[in-house]
Amino acid sequence: MVNMNQNEELNVSFDSSSLKNEFDSVSRKIRILFWEVPLYDILMGFWERRVNTDILDMADGISEKDEIIELGSGTGQLSCLIAKKYPNSNLLCVDFSARMSELTHERLNNQFKSQSQRCSSKKKFKVLNMDCFELDESSCKYDLLVSTFLFDLQSSMQIRKLLLICERLLKDDGRILVATLDASPSDSTLPKFCKSYFNLTKQIYEKFHSSATVRKIFMSSLGYYTHCRPISINKYLSDIPSLQLLGVKYSTIRVLGIPLLWVKITEIGRR
Ligand SMILES: C[S@@+](CC[C@H](N)C(=O)[O-])C[C@H]1O[C@@H](n2cnc3c(N)ncnc32)[C@H](O)[C@@H]1O
């Protein structure tokens, strides 16, 4: 069910098991010439690459022994970039789709092909197939928590809950980096025509997102429909006094080099 609220943010609600099934389904591999590629990477992941490199730039300052957690790691694109950039940090990837978790694991293993790297990587990364709403306070504390396109899948209530979970997972001086489709493309450095352009593309995306017909076509042909919708993460952040906004960077989802959707990378810390 989808409808629009006053803040111009689409409301979403679906049960977690059907969402999990959709991600299991879209992570199946399909053959393209000599390669087997997860369907998700063709539909979504490929276009999200720039966001992954941009979020990684914001993660600068991580020290060798830091503990990193990624929530909703999907096919493991960002996980691999993190593991490559910070080979001596411990990385935990969490995803509730069993197939997505397998892909992350496979990708991380493949990345560390040489014998010596494989030995050390085994100690350095772990993939947990679990719902991140079930992560509890007894879990380890992290220096860095990253998450791309997970918050914008969740309902308003779940976003608040997820931010509180993230807060509990953080060390005192830990940082959260969250990438979301942005409901209010308002970067002050952007020229006016760019803002108007991204507002327009956002509105078109939201029209498609809430169209029952488009959804039906996607579901019947692919068994998956993108549930991410633009959100205003600041709105939720202001409800949690123990967290503060540290910084913002903007990025885009690009298709064939053309920027189509505005993405906000938000850096959050403890107050
Ligand atoms: C839109 S995809 C993004 C994947 C990846 N971060 C990327 O940017 O390519 C969202 C991912 O989060 C996972 N996910 C959704 N809800 C989750 C939850 N409650 N707990 C753990 N993983 C979840 C899905 O299985 C999926 O792999």
Please list the alpha-helical segments (H only) found in the chain: 16-26, 39-43, 49-58, 77-85, 98-111, 115-124, 156-169, 192-209, 212-222, 233-237
Q: For residues 117 and 124, is the Cβ–Cβ distance under 8 A?
A: no
Helix, strand, coil distribution of the chain in percent, nearest 5: 45, 30, 30
pLDDT of residue 175: 96
Name the amino acid, one letter, at 48.
E
Tokens of 52: 């992954």
In which region does residue 74 sit, left (phi positive, over 0), alpha (psi from -120 to 50) or beta (all else)?
left
Q: For residues 48 and 82, is the Cβ–Cβ distance under 8 A?
A: no
Tokens of 129: 């197939």
pLDDT of residue 92: 96
pLDDT of residue 120: 59
Distance CA 183, CA 263 (A): 9
pLDDT of residue 121: 55
Q: For residues 129 and 160, is the Cβ–Cβ distance under 8 A?
A: no
Could you tell me which of 172, 150, 171 has the C-alpha nearest to residue 161? 150
Tokens of 73: 């790691």
Tokens of 192: 């006016």
Could you tell me which of 88, 86, 178 has the C-alpha nearest to residue 132? 178
Q: Taking CA 60 as the corner, what is the angle to CA 57 and CA 66, rounded to the nearest 5 degrees?
A: 130
23 lines ligand 1 (CB under 6 A): yes
Name the amino acid, one letter, at 173.
D
Does residue 35 sit in helix, strand or coil?
strand
Q: Which domains does the chain have, with CATH numbers?
A: 2-270 (3.40.50.150)
Does residue 16 sit in helix, strand or coil?
helix
Ligand 1 nearest-atom number relative to CA 158:
19
Could you tell me which of 259, 140, 267 has the C-alpha nearest to residue 205? 259
Query: Would you give per-residue pLDDT tens digits along the chain (271 residues)?
Result: 444 444 578 888 678 888 999 999 999 999 988 889 999 998 887 788 899 999 999 988 888 789 999 999 999 999 999 998 998 899 999 999 999 999 999 999 988 765 566 555 556 899 999 999 999 876 789 999 999 999 999 999 999 999 999 999 999 999 999 999 998 876 777 788 888 899 999 999 999 998 999 989 999 998 888 889 999 999 999 999 999 999 999 999 998 888 999 999 999 999 9
Cα 177 to ligand 1 centroid, rounded to whole Å: 15
**pTM score, two decimals?**
0.92
Tokens 């997970």 correspond to what residue? 150
Tokens of 231: 């959100």
Taking CA atoms only, the protein residue closest to ligand 1 atom 26 is 74
Q: For residues 125 and 86, is the Cβ–Cβ distance under 8 A?
A: no
pLDDT of residue 116: 60
Phi, psi for 171 (deg, rounded to 5): -70, 165
Cα 72 to ligand 1 centroid, rounded to whole Å: 3
Cα 27 to ligand 1 centroid, rounded to whole Å: 11
Cα 173 to ligand 1 centroid, rounded to whole Å: 25
